Amino acid sequence: MKSIIDILDLSTDEIEELIAVAEDIIQNPRAYAHRMEGKKLATLFFEPSTRTRMSFEAAMYELGGNVISMASAASSSAAKGESVADTVKTVSCYADIIAMRHPKEGAALVAANSASVPVINAGDGGHCHPTQTLADLFTIRREKGRFSGLTVGVCGDLKFGRTVHSLINALSRYPDVHFVLISPEELKVPSYVKRDVLAKKGIPYEQTTNLEGVIGDLDILYMTRVQRERFFNEEDYLRLRDSYILTPEKLKGAKADLSVMHPLPRVNEISVAIDDDPRACYFKQVKNGKYMRMALILKLIGGDGQ
Ligand code: CP
């Protein structure tokens, strides 16, 4: 039984397999329509979500399976003080696989150690969000045809943005990737990511506060929201929330084949005027995420997708 807590729980070969299955699902959806018949996915979301929760649920339904879920954390027994460990032990009695989001870093690992079915981390605090990274990788592969040799700009809240931490971890396994880390001083990539991932693997990176100064160098620009829910005070959030707003004017300095990505939800980081630009990929990420979650469910509970 395998759980997915971190993107590094999947080897690069396994990611290639998932991409191949996701492509095949897109081409042959009917071949997969009954693969999870009789199986149940439980979605346990202790934090708000639109995409991750609904794409897991859509993924399971499109595989012919069923879904059970908590209406909200507040209406579950977590509100009475039940631990994550006891919650997942209980839900393991009802479901074949669990997708869980929790505000505390490490909660997904606690869940995986307590559950008797596979647990997929759907985001644990500011730590990581591996299935968003699967969506991101599939999108990069479809847009660029490769992972190696790319200059990847990540911009915004790089301190609390869990999708950024997972993406850096994932792309650091491919040759000749160069990161440009664009953030306010207060929201830089945590030192443990720089030390344990970038420096350890000798990955070239630069840090800057100036998006306009580097946008022309980038193959991918991964914008992120300033994570209001992780700030200790509202004043700091209000000061930093609009640090970067991507506009058509700023995109004029970018490559013609730049891919603009964002895990969403967006607040102000990308002007809606960019949505129709062919370089905008963020709604493609949403769609691609469902196919990668279908492929992951198949991998973890009984199908190989072939
Ligand atoms: N990208 C993402 O995790 O979106 P949600 O918070 O809506 O699930």
Predicted pLDDT at 304: 46
pLDDT exceeding 90 applies to what percent of the chain? Answer: 88
Does 25 score more than 60 pLDDT? Answer: yes
What contacts 27, CB < 8 A, 6 or more positions away? none
Q: How far is the CA of 82 from the centre of ligand 1 (A)?
A: 25
Predicted pLDDT at 303: 53
Q: What is the mean pLDDT of residues 217-227?
A: 95
Predicted pLDDT at 305: 39
For ligand 1, atom 4, which residue shows the shortest CA distance?
Answer: 51
Mean pLDDT of the chain: 95
Mutate which of 44, 45, 47, 49 to test ligand 1's pocket (most atoms within 8 Å of Cβ)? 49
Q: How far is the CA of 261 from the centre of ligand 1 (A)?
A: 14
Is 7-128+286-301's fold the same as 130-285's? yes
Q: What is the pLDDT of residues 271-305, one digit of tens each?
A: 999 999 999 999 999 999 999 999 999 999 975 43
Q: Can you give the residue ranges of every domain in the chain? A: 7-128+286-301, 130-285
How far apart, in whole angstroms, are the C-alpha atoms of residue 97 and residue 115? 9
What kind of fold does domain 7-128+286-301 have according to CATH? Rossmann fold (3.40.50)
Atom of ligand 1 nearest to the CA of 122: 3
Long-range contacts of 67-71 (CB under 8 A, 24+ apart): 67/40, 67/41, 67/42, 67/43, 68/40, 68/41, 68/42, 68/43, 68/94, 68/95, 69/42, 69/43, 69/44, 69/45, 70/43, 70/44, 70/45
What kind of fold does domain 130-285 have according to CATH? Rossmann fold (3.40.50)
Q: What is the pLDDT of residues 224-266, one digit of tens each?
A: 998 888 777 888 888 888 889 999 999 999 999 999 999 999 9
